[in-house]
Amino acid sequence: MKKYVKEFFFRGMMFGGFGPIVLAIIYYIVSVVDTSTIFEGKEILSGIISVYLLAFVHAGASVFNQIEEWGINKSIAVHFATLYVAYSVCYFTNTWIPFEAKTFAVFTGVFVAIYAVVWTIVYLCVRKSGKKISDRLKNV
């Protein structure tokens, strides 16, 4: 398990920096499109830190799918829970979305739907690749 914790932190550190770059681009586009919008230093700092942490957790959580002792259901459940908690805490802490029951329900529904679509696509792509490799090995 120690190996996976190290890999989680390695991946998080490696890819975490992309989040703030994306955030900086978004801030720049907003400032060009809407010149009346002014971001305060506190908003920029909390945004950068939050997006870095989201990217860090997102990249690191990919290690859950490589823990061979876990079945696919457990790895997906832990991956989902990790991302859901990270995004929820980040969005509500920064007040990017209001902390209300209705908003929380919508956020949860959208998160679950997007997660399911992404994982279905990933699953189908991996299954197709696996079939191609299997077919090639049969012909060897």
Residue entry with tokens 């529904």 = 109
Residues 121 and 84 reside in one and the same domain: no
Size (the chain), residues: 140
Domain that holds residue 128: 99-140
Residues 27 and 80 reside in one and the same domain: yes
Task: Give the torsion sign (CA, 36, 42, 48, 51).
Answer: negative
Per-residue pLDDT at 14 exceeds 70: no
Phi, psi of 89 (to 5 degrees): -60, -45
> Average pLDDT of the chain?
83
Per-residue pLDDT at 94 exceeds 80: yes
Residues 69 and 124 reside in one and the same domain: no
Residue 43 is predicted with a pLDDT of 81
Residues 34 and 69 reside in one and the same domain: yes
Per-residue pLDDT at 27 exceeds 80: no
Tokens of 98: 């209001």
CA distance 122 to 100: 32
Residues 72 and 60 reside in one and the same domain: yes
Report the pLDDT averaged over residues 120-137.
Answer: 87
pTM of the model: 0.72
